[in-house]
Amino acid sequence: MFETAELRRSIDRATYETLLPKLRSNLLRVQNELYEHKAFPVLVIIGGVDGAGKGETVNTLHEWMDPRYLETNAFGALSDEERERPDFWRFWRTLPPRGKIGIFFGSWYTRPIIQYVYGKTRSAELEEALQRINTFERELADDGALILKFWFHLAKKDQKQRLKSLERDPDKRWRVGPEDWKHFKLYDTFYQVCTQALRATSTGHAPWTIVEGYDAPYRYVTVGQHILERVEKRLTSQAPPVSQPPVQPPAVASGPRYTTVLGTLDLTPRLDKQRYDKGMNALQGRLSVLSRQAMTRQISSLLVFEGWDAAGKGGAIRRVTRALDARCYRIIPIAAPTDEEKAHHYLWRFWRHLPRAGRVTIYDRSWYGRVLVERVEGFASEDEWMRAYKEINDFEQQLIEHGTVVLKFWLHISQDEQLRRFQEREATSYKQYKITAEDYRNRTQWEAYETAVQDMVERTSTEYAPWHLIAANDKYHARTKIVRIFCKALEKRLKG
């Protein structure tokens, strides 16, 4: 694979000086056009061998392009904050919004390759890591991202010469350390592993471009022209997203209704006030002890609350948090996305709020809006919400593999009970803010939402993150069941 990047190709200084003004001008032009139309995000992945000019190329791109629309993220050893979350958290949170270019210097490829070369992982783990990378890049590409991947290569003798040359230069010797020479001794192993990694991850939506690092002007022009051509081509083929008609919501099928998983849920269980108070006090005491043990053991928890309007999500959340240390949990209420959130992949805003080790994050509504409200109301196309099931499953699997306790609750009530609660809110002055005309309008979409919930449970209730369907016509019963489920999940995780 790398043979074509060992030809010692170069560009003479005169040719370079001739090409440079036009190249820089065109890069600025397409960069401004990209930002003006907020067309799509561009991810520039920089990888390759030590001494091949990766850092100099990144610095050169910053000189050539508008820094307002360009951001570089350099990834080294994991920080404590990053170590406490799934591996891809550090990358999701730095993704560029639509209209901007993000350079990733040291990316999601670095750690899997180095760990395998140094014998910290086996072949199966490397293959699994590469598959996860492909899944990640596929999700970003499906959402419109343009992914440009550059691998800088040097022949073994040229790398050795480059490292020695840098060491001899008083102004540059700081760039060569013991780790660089340690990597050089493993050059042949790196060569083999990197060949495997590039072949496995060079896809149609995110192909690799191998850049020969022998000559600085050559690599600068090669990278600059490739960025220019790929961005310009995408801009030409993709009309700016203006004056486009909204996606029409799917029609609700007429005819007899079929039985859904919600339709089979028994809504009759009830608890009287005395039994509820006694049982809840005991459960909250149990949860308080367990949550502190989880904090000591650095076990994180993530709770998702979904359900009908007025189903009691807020009340259930308050019964959970009363048992928790206020310093150790966060509640993330999810509403319509902001402009910043709309400019990113829909999962971006959820990745950002993942809990640190030992902490609890509670989502009051969640990423499931993609396959619920966005599906029913037509805010997402069928292709978008259909592929979201797999994207969500992969997201949750990464949380579980990291050791996070993941609990998903759907609070179900009958239509009659919902109407009663709506009317009660209207009649109570301090609850009137909770009820709007939108709540009544949503009731007309009950069947469409019930169908969406059926599909959601069928496709995302996995063995590692199952759905808990809570009969919530009686709030006492629902709250008690939710706190008990959380206690049991923590007990199981603490024993594991």
pLDDT in tens, 17-61: 999 999 999 999 999 999 999 989 999 999 999 989 999 999 999
pLDDT of 385 higher than 80:
yes
The whole-number average pLDDT for the span 294-309 is 97
- The rounded distance, in Å, linking the Cα atoms of 352 and 12 is 46
The whole-number average pLDDT for the span 339-360 is 97
- Average pLDDT, rounded, for the chain: 93
pLDDT of 287 higher than 90:
yes
Give residue 256's pLDDT: 46
Give residue 47's pLDDT: 95
pLDDT in tens, 54-85: 999 999 999 999 999 999 999 989 999 999 99
Give residue 442's pLDDT: 87
Contacts of 164 (CB under 8 A, 6+ apart): none
pLDDT in tens, 106-165: 899 999 999 999 999 999 999 999 999 999 999 999 999 999 999 999 999 999 998 998
User: Which amino acid is present at 432?
Assistant: Q
- The rounded distance, in Å, linking the Cα atoms of 196 and 118 is 16
| Ordered domains of the chain (ranges, CATH) | 3-237 (3.40.50.300), 273-495 (3.40.50.300)
pLDDT of 346 higher than 70:
yes
Give residue 255's pLDDT: 43
Give residue 483's pLDDT: 98
Give residue 219's pLDDT: 95
Using CB atoms within 10 Å of the CB of residue 226, give its burial: 0 to 12 exposed, 13 to 18 middle, 19+ buried: middle
Is residue 492 very low, low, confident or very high in pLDDT (cuts 50, 70, 90)?
Answer: very high
